[in-house]
Structure 1
Amino acid sequence: MADTLPLPDDLIELQQRLHQARSEHTALCRTLPWSVEPLPGWPGTVHPHTGEVTGGREDSPGYTPEQEAEEARLWSLVRELSIEVSTHPYWATLPKDDTLVKARMQLKQHPKAQPDAAGSVGSEAA
């Protein structure tokens, strides 16, 4: 991209941490029961011609206290990092036009800001 703006290393690191926290939260949520509290499931609907059952859920045992605490911790981290990224002083240095939007998109897509880029910010020789 020829129109790239120089992004501060600390902002790139914050974005990377935000991506990582979101990734961890999503992965955790995929392993959790469908309900925080124990709830009964319900049967699915049988298709009249094919007999295929769609919808429905198994009973949910609810979250364990450890699962609930970890989900809350990760969600809190995502919120905190989102605030840090969006209120970073760098944004105030840009004009309030499409430059700001382009810079934000550049940050989100920056190779060093991806969840798998941990440790790469500032590790390259200048």
Structure 2
Amino acid sequence: MPKTDSPPGHPFPDDLAQAQRDLHRAQADHTANSRTLPWSAEPHPGWPAEVHSVSGAVLSPAREASPGYTPGQRAEDDRLRALVLDLSERVATHPYWATVERGETVAARQALKALGAGAP
């Protein structure tokens, strides 16, 4: 297994480092896509604000109606969720983790996350 440019003490295999970078990118894509979606996946009429009867303070804000996801939005959300899950599994179950000493696993995992955090 070739090793990539890794933090000292954690020579990650290239395929593991790439999977982590891909995971960061997929998570960012999923987050960005989620911000464009209606608040409810299914159509929902919303609700009025709940206001305290004496003080008039808003106890819970109103929520506007949601049209729900379109079939295209649902398909893209499902695709991105599946990609994040696949990459998470690939990173978590990589054979490299069996070679890390028991007391070093958390430090190695944090180093790998930091390596992937710089992904575009």
- Percent identity between matched residues is 50
Deviation per CA, 1:42-70: give whole Å up to 9, x if none.
00123554665841200000000000000
1:83 paired residue number: 89
Q: Match for 1:70 among 76, 91, 95?
A: 76
1:60 paired residue number: 66
Question: For structure 2, which runs of at least 5 residues remain unmatched after alignment?
Answer: 1-6
C-alpha separation between the residues in 2 aligned to 1:87 and 1:44? 46
Give the drift of 1:117: 2.6
C-alpha separation between the residues in 2 aligned to 1:29 and 1:108? 22
TM-score (norm 2): 0.83
SS in 1 for 2:35: helix
Question: For structure 1, which runs of at least 5 residues remain unmatched after alignment?
Answer: 119-126
Alpha-carbon RMSD across the aligned residues, in angstroms, is 1.9
Give the drift of 1:31: 1.2
**Which structure 1 residue ranges, 4+ long, deviate > 6 Å from structure 2?**
none
- For the Cα contact (< 8 Å) 1:4–1:106, is it kept in 2? no
2:26 paired residue number: 21
Give the drift of 1:98: 2.1
TM-score (norm 1): 0.80
C-alpha separation between the residues in 2 aligned to 1:4 and 1:75? 32
1:9 paired residue number: 14
C-alpha separation between the residues in 2 aligned to 1:19 and 1:85? 11
